[in-house]
Structure 1
Amino acid sequence: MRWVIFVVIYIVLSFYSFQAVKTVFKTNWIQYLFIGLVVLILGNFIYQWLQPGEGRVLTQPKSYAFGFLLAMLSAELILVIFMFGEDIGRLLSATYSKFFTAKESFHLPSRRKFVGTLALGIAAIPFASLLYGMFKGKYNFRVLSYNLEFDDLPEAFDGYQITQISDVHSGSFDNHNKISYAVDLINEQQSDAIFFTGDLVNNLASEMDEWSDLFSTLKAKDGVFSVLGNHDYGDYVDWANTLEKENNLNRLKEVQKNMGWRLLLNENVSINRGEQKIYLVGVENWGKGGFVKHGDLDKAAADLTKEDFKILLSHDPSYWQEKIKSDPKHYQLTLSGHTHGMQFGIEIPGWIKWSPIKYRYENWAGIYEELGRYINVNRGFGFLGYPGRVGIWPEITVIKLRKRRA
């Protein structure tokens, strides 16, 4: 029944949108082209959705089918708003003419070509933007750099540079050259350490088979450190039994080990510079709103004190709001991901930073400071669901730690 309702709504929107096309373009082939595109997008979407999948996360074909449908619906909704608004005006005009003029018949004025042209022009913006996001935007990698000052940073670590990536989602990749370029871009930062904050795959450890050799080339003086994200546990697959699920997770852990990454599972390690050190604390995923809660901050930092300088890796930023920022052990810097910035939004530095995801997560992209603690929420390296990015580009974060001077 939900499929029937959806198809009916889509047909109604398409029919109404067609009125704008018919008003502006009198040539039959353009009208037929629009009808063919509407049918093709709907048919492909239904076909892909009827195909079996390995998990509840969208496969690449399903993602693209969803992306094309989303682009078409975004355009149609704008066309419907314009056409419906004009039809209300036409109806009011005809009613007025019927009762307040000498005309005896009720006659609707013709649709105006100007309104249809304006509607099509505006509708083309989200349509083109979503298509651009699918074919170009998702690999439009940006390096975002920050300098953060701390009173209690050990002197030996003044100028220490870290690179953070998050949410690789390797099962969504479809261009080896673009990913190779991004990996090279990470290495070009020549940071002292590289941190990965979870969601290496969409569903299965096998998604890394094609990519593990490439990601094993990530190098930093003090190493590459990682934590697990909600997708890494295999919770979005209907496994035959718990053993299969456990084996998948163990294989993913082994993949990271073989790539030379140090996976932190509710534990900490130190980085030393002579007699001075900082600590890396890694917690497993902990998220609000139905996401898995394997993270245990108290266990991860059981042997640390408030005076120790700590960098915490926590995939979901909701853990920062829930516990980390107010924890008495004082976690100076937390690195998270998870939100992807919803892969859609508007960002003009110094002017505006907006995405619908802000209504779900208080900390959703960039640097935030509260209670003297910082969190950086990385916008994500990969993509999921909608196979693209619009306005919220894939991010490589570079943070330089500085000792605050009096």
Structure 2
Amino acid sequence: MPRWVIPLLIISSLIIILELYAFQAIKTLTRNKFIKYGWLVFGILAYVNFFYVIFSSDRTSGQTRQFQWAAGFMLLALLPKLFVLIFMFGEDVVRYIQKGISFLSSKETQPVAGRRKFISQIALGIAAIPFASLLYGIFKGKFNYKVLKYQLTFKDLPEAFDGFTITQITDIHSGSFDNKEKIQYGIDLINQQNSDVILFTGDIVNNFAKEMDPWIDMFKSLKAPSGKFSILGNHDYGDYSQWETEDDKKANFEAVKEIHPKIGFDLLLNEHRYLEKDGQKIALVGVENWGKGFKKAGDLQKASEGVYQEDFKILMTHDPTHWDLKVKEDDFNYQLTLSGHTHGLQFGIEIPGFFRWSPSQYVYKQWAGLYEEFGRYVNVNRGFGYHAFPGRVGIWPEITVIELKKA
């Protein structure tokens, strides 16, 4: 028996239970057959399409847009019903407890039809919130670009760089793009920041260099007087596809690296550059991907060869676990680190200054925004593009602008 059969049977059984509870809630509220069976048919079609795409896709194709849309509609069918399940299952538990008490005490049970209907109304009302949020995220939220601005003060910043501005973008994932007008809006928004330098912190594609071909001219139009610099992310190595030969994979990796000069970016492969202004300079250090549970091609020591400890340093590293595990306590003192990778899982709730939550925080200690420890900072950009799920809910695409100030 193939290894995937048992997990598939378990998942299918859970989906059937979920659908039965959701259908029960709908049936309690309406006798309209169109509504009742339309709800059921939508779910079945979403599940069938998702499994069809998984089992029929060519493994050499990597993650396709077809898969992303199948995953999106699967979530659209599944997630709201989880809320229904919680309420309806809870009501069942209460009902059976009451029946047990009635049986033991020889008292008649009270009618529960009215309560059942009331609980169904609450469950479906709450389930409508994630349903509407997912719809918005798929069709609008993934292009809801936000410019987040920070001002950071350092005692050891050279005076010439007081007021120096950095625009950081990350996780373009060009293979997911499907709307040139919206992407152009994002590009224009980056240029409107008029920053001194633009830094891109990895994942320019999902898997294949050719994914960037339609977008080269657009990203080539990005402008910054002090230059544009970039690094690689975990998706840039072609590790998420089955290749016919190792040579094919190597050729794709070389083609990915060649994208960067085509769009005017200086790709740093475990190396550094100095940015100079009025006779003073700061070091820009860029490493290849290094992440907990991911490729560890980054070599911080190699990238920093020729950089002095007293230099002010900006480190570009794709995965924030690198900062947490290796960088933040390094005696060489990397004052500012820029990362991406997490996307904030593209799903969560953020109320600036009050509350923020995402499933991403259970995986990454630094998952979105600015963090400081030992007087050193890391900014985890939420990403410009999107991946796997073709949308964003509550965690919007980000353009970060950081102004450096001399203390």
Name the TM-score class by shorter chain.
over 0.9
How far, CA to CA, are the matches of 2:107 and 2:349 in structure 1?
A: 52
Question: 2:347 corresponds to which residue?
Answer: 344
Distance (Å, rounded) in 2 between the aligned partners of 1:279 and 1:102: 80
- Specify the code of the residue in structure 2 equivalent to 1:234: G
- For the 8 Å contact 1:94–1:109, the answer to whether it is kept is no
Where do residues 7-86 of structure 1 align in structure 2 (5 Å cutoff)? Answer: 7-55=12-60, 57-86=62-91
- Once the 2 structures are TM-superposed, how far is the Cα of residue 323 of structure 1 from its aligned partner? 1.7
Q: Quick one: which amino acid aligns to residue 249 of structure 1?
A: F
* TM-score of the aligned structures, taking structure 1 as reference length: 0.95
Q: Which moved more, 1:83-92 or 1:119-128?
A: 83-92
Shift in Å at residue 273 of structure 1?
A: 1.0
CA distance in 2, matches of 1:56, 1:81: 38
Structure 1 396/54 Cα, relative in aligned 2: closer, same or farther at 3 Å? farther
Among 214, 229, 235, the alignment partner of 2:239 is 235
Q: Is the 8 A contact 1:170 1:202 kept in 2?
A: yes
User: CA offset at residue 40 of structure 1?
Assistant: 1.4
Whole-angstrom CA distance in 2 between matches of 1:260 and 1:102:
80
Equivalent position SS for 1:13: helix
Cα 1:159/1:54, change in 2 over 3 Å: farther
Letter in 1 for 2:29: V
* Offset, 1:183: 0.4
Equivalent residue of 1:210, what SS? helix
Q: Deviations over 1:338-380 (max 9, x none)?
A: 1111111111111112212112211111111111111111011
List gaps (5 residues or longer) in structure 1: none
1:145 Cα offset (Å):
0.2
Which sits farther off after the overlay, 278-287 or 76-85? Answer: 76-85
**For 1:81-230, what aligned pairs fall within 5 Å after superposition?**
81-101=86-106, 109-110=112-113, 112-230=116-234
Once the 2 structures are TM-superposed, how far is the Cα of residue 108 of structure 1 from its aligned partner? 7.3
- Which 5+ residue runs of structure 2 have no aligned equivalent? none
CA contact (8 A) 1:193 1:222 kept: yes
Residues 328 and 91 (structure 1 numbering): CA distance in 2 closer, same or farther, change over 3 Å? Answer: closer
Does structure 1 residue 298 correspond to structure 2 residue 301? yes
Tell me, yes or no, if the aligned pair for 1:54 and 1:237 is still in contact at 8 Å: yes
Q: Which residue of 1 aligns with 2:256?
A: 252
User: Residues of 1 paired with 2:364 and 2:104: CA distance?
Assistant: 54
- 1:288-367 equivalences under 5 Å are 288-289=292-293, 291-367=294-370
CA contact (8 A) 1:284 1:296 kept: yes
Count of paired positions = 401
- Distance in 2 separating the partners of 1:11 and 1:94: 26
Alpha-carbon distance in 1 for matches of 2:235, 2:107: 69
Report the equivalent of 2:405: 402
Give the C-alpha shift of residue 107 in structure 1.
9.2
Which whole-Å deviations, capped at 9, do the CAs of 1:77-102 have from their partners, x for residues lacking one? 11112112222233233444445356
Which contiguous aligned blocks of 4+ residues in structure 1 show a shift greater than 6 angstroms?
none
Residue type matched to 2:125 in 1?
Answer: G
Q: CA deviation at 1:135?
A: 1.2
Q: 1:385 aligns with which of 384, 388, 393?
A: 388
- Answer yes or no: is 1:280 the counterpart of 2:284: yes
Write the letter of the residue equivalent to 1:43: V
CA gap 1:116/1:131 in 2 versus in 1, 3 angstroms: same
User: After superposition, what is the alpha-carbon deviation per residue over 1:180-207, rounded to whole angstroms, capped at 9, x for unaligned?
Assistant: 1000000000000000000000010010
Query: Taking every aligned residue pair, what percent have the same amino acid on both sides?
Result: 55
| Match status 1:368 vs 2:381 | no
Q: 1:270 to 1:9 in 2, by over 3 A?
A: same
Contact 1:93 1:108 in 2 (8 A): no
- Of residues 311-320 and 91-100 in structure 1, the stretch that sits farther from structure 2 once superposed is 91-100
Check 1:146–1:225 CA distance in 2 against 1; reply closer, same or farther (3 A cut).
same
Structure 2 counterpart SS, 1:311:
strand
**Matching residue's letter, 1:374:** Y
Instruction: Specify the SS of the correspondent of 1:133.
Output: helix
- In the TM superposition, residue 54 of structure 1 has moved relative to its aligned partner by 5.0
8 A contact 2:165–2:195 mirrored in 1 = yes
Give the whole-Å Cα distance in 2 for the aligned partners of 1:212 and 1:23.
54
Contact 1:53 1:59 in 2 (8 A): no
Secondary structure at 2:56's aligned position in 1?
A: coil
Question: How far, CA to CA, are the matches of 2:145 and 2:360 in structure 1?
Answer: 20
Q: Distance in 1 between matches of 2:324 and 2:16?
A: 44
Change (3 A) 1:143 1:398: same
In structure 2, the residue corresponding to 1:376 is in which secondary structure?
A: strand
Cα separation, 2, equivalents of 1:92 and 1:277: 72
Encode CA deviations 1:267-312: one digit per residue, 9 max, x unaligned: 11111112111111111011112x1111111111111111111111
Whether contact under 8 Å (1:90, 1:108) holds in the other structure is no
Check whether the contact 2:271–2:286 (CA below 8 A) recurs between aligned residues.
Answer: yes
> What is the Cα deviation at residue 399 of structure 1?
0.3
Q: Distance in 2 between matches of 1:162 and 1:27?
A: 57
CA RMSD, Structure 1 to Structure 2 (Å):
1.7
For structure 1, which segment, 123-132 or 19-28, has the greater mean C-alpha deviation from structure 2 after superposition?
123-132
> Structure 2 CA distance, aligned partners of 1:364 and 1:344?
12
